[in-house]
Amino acid sequence: MLISGSMAGLSQAVLGCPIEVVKIRLQTLGYIGRSYDCMRYIYNHEGIYGLYRGLVPMIWRDILPYGIYSIVYDWMYEVGNEIAVVRAIRMQSETHNGTLALKLEATLTSFAALLASVLSWTLIAPLDVVKTIMQAETNPSIHRNMLECVSMLWRAHNYRVLFSGVYMNIGKSYATLCGYQYCLNKCQSSVAKENKDRLNK
């Protein structure tokens, strides 16, 4: 679970870094125009390195939370199986509609999502801040690596700046995971209802 989640985060970081750089430049520098024009401007003035600024902290930022979430989710599922009532409802849902089981799964997953979001984003908040600072900088000679950026931020603003926006990221992550689970439960409920109607016919 850890390896699968971490590999997903690594793939997202490598493929999404140029997109993230363009997004941040559009949001922070007031660039007016199409995203493609902004990407071409960065490439013409900063080269391919400009499109991959902040890749290292972005890789670490995306590897850790995906891995942690996968482990926490799996752990929460196993914890549920240790509870007799939960295990009985899950077994019953294999032959019945399973509405109660779906609601229970949503509750357990919601708690798992909250726990995973708090753990992962609290740990990686400094990486997210460093990534954003590096990607917003247009001068290649500034923030040439992660340690230099951390040192500059620490001297200028102390350690608290490294946790800027952590609550917003926790909320975003939690809302995303809960939204995913809600949609998944709706799909499963619809399929269960169709199967029940087919058996009744």
Q: Which residue has the tokens 């080269």?
A: 47
What confidence tens digit (pLDDT) does each residue in 16-51 have?
899 989 988 888 876 667 888 888 888 998 888 889
> What's the CA angle centered on 116, arms 114 and 117, to 5 degrees?
65
pLDDT in tens, 133-192: 888 888 777 877 888 888 888 888 887 888 888 888 888 878 877 777 777 767 877 777
- In angstroms, the Cα distances linking 79 to 74, 84, 91, 120 are 9, 10, 15, 20
Distance CA(137)–CA(92), nearest Å, equals 56
- Rounded distance between C-alpha atoms, residue 104 and residue 110, angstroms: 10
Please give the Cα distance from 186 to 163 (Å, whole number).
36
The predicted model gives 78-89 an average pLDDT of 70
> Are 39 and 22 within 8 A, CB to CB?
yes
Contact 21, 53 (CB under 8 A): yes
Is 10's pLDDT higher than 80? yes
Q: Extract the tokens encoding 64.
A: 């850790």
pLDDT of residue 91: 66
What pLDDT sits at residue 187? 80
- Quote the pLDDT of residue 176: 77
**121, 167 contact by CB (below 8 A):** no
Question: What pLDDT sits at residue 190?
Answer: 77
Q: In the predicted model, what is the mean pLDDT of residues 88-108?
A: 64
Q: How many residues does the chain have?
A: 201
Residue 97: pLDDT over 70: no
Q: HEC string of 6-23?
A: HHHHHHHHHHHHHHHHHH
The yes-or-no verdict on residue 92 having pLDDT over 70 is no
